[in-house]
Amino acid sequence: MLIVNADDLAMTPGANQGIFEGFDKGAITHASIMANCDYFNEAMQGLQERPNLGLGMHLNITYGKPLIQNSLYCNKEGIFNLGYLNLLKNRNPEFLAAVEAEWEAQIERVLSNSQREKLTHLDSHRHVHMIPHLYKIAVKLAQKYNIERIRLINESMLHSLLLTKRFNFLLNGGIIKYLLLRSFSAIDAKYANYYDNIRFYSILYTGVIGGDILQKLQDAKETYEIMVHPSVTALDRDVRFYDEAEKAYRVSKDREKELEAVLVLKR
């Protein structure tokens, strides 16, 4: 079984169109929505037309404007201003309660604007839900809303290398992210494992998934979750982004290549 999950639904018009096209004509099976983003209403309209597209929550505390304004995670303009290091260090109970309230508001916004009884999964922008003290919040919300899957990074480096025979992650920082998230996931799984019998693939090769890789994993006996970020980048060139790094990622040619990859393979 292959779960092809497209992250960042609702972030931009290009992301919305790419994800919906990838579901309508290709291999995408699930999408993770960002409830606080500017193109949420457009995303919800597309979802109403696609009741069979699995919908999960892309929990967010680092990009755009929150649903609940709070100086613990916002700047004076009301925009998220926390980096990964801030989140790693901050275990203040008041801050954690604020994060929980914001994440619950994001879940509630999705459920109240859709006809779905529940969400299929939880993950997060920049994988922040895997930070152990934030993972506990994700588990609490999953239990409250009867969500059965929370993404963990249990990707095997050896398996990925043998599958792709590519080493570009050594130059793009992928190895550092991989080691950090693998460590977090090992801790998280001991606390509560909502990722049983699923193998994750694509942290080492984030954003550069090809159709050949999807085909190999579709033919595998195990269940895999593949994270993709397809987009129609021409729609995003004049979009207002909240940081330049996100803009560079969203308008990269790699987004179009991932869209091509998911269109090559059919569900």
Distance of CA 25 to the CA centre of its chain: 21
Q: Judge if pTM exceeds 0.85.
A: yes
Going edge to edge, which strands form the sheet with 199-201? 149-150, 121-124, 54-59, 30-33, 2-9, 224-228, 199-201
- How would you classify the pairing of strands 199-201 and 149-150? unpaired
C-alpha to C-alpha distance for 59 and 128, rounded to whole angstroms: 8
CATH no. for residue 227?
Answer: 3.20.20.370
3-state helix, strand, coil in the chain (%, to 5): 50, 15, 40
- How would you classify the pairing of strands 2-9 and 30-33? parallel
Q: Which residues are CB-neighbours of 218 under 8 A, at least 6 positions away?
A: 2, 27, 265
pLDDT of residue 120: 98
Please name the amino acid found at residue 221: K
pLDDT of residue 28: 97
CA dihedral of residues 204, 86, 145, 120 (deg, nearest 10): -20
C-alpha to C-alpha distance for 218 and 56, rounded to whole angstroms: 21
Question: Which among 99, 87, 85 has a CA at the least distance from the CA of 138?
Answer: 99
pLDDT of residue 211: 80
Using the Cα atoms of residue 238, residue 241, residue 246 and residue 250 in order, give the sign of their dihedral: negative
- To the nearest 10 degrees (0 to 180), the angle between helices 132-144 and 93-112 is 40
Phi, psi of 169 (to 5 degrees): -65, -20
Average pLDDT over residues 217-244: 92
User: Do 69 and 102 form a contact (C-beta atoms < 8 A)?
Assistant: no
pLDDT of residue 130: 98
Tokens for 37, please give them. 């983003």
pLDDT tens for each residue of 167-200: 555 455 567 888 999 999 999 999 999 999 999 9
pLDDT tens for each residue of 102-141: 999 999 999 999 988 899 999 999 999 999 999 999 999 9
- Split at pLDDT 50, 70, 90, the class of 214 is confident
Distance of CA 157 to the CA centre of its chain: 20
* Domain membership of residue 65 as a residue range: 2-264
User: Do 15 and 8 form a contact (C-beta atoms < 8 A)?
Assistant: yes
pLDDT tens for each residue of 82-104: 999 999 999 999 999 999 999 99
| Domains held by the chain: number | 1
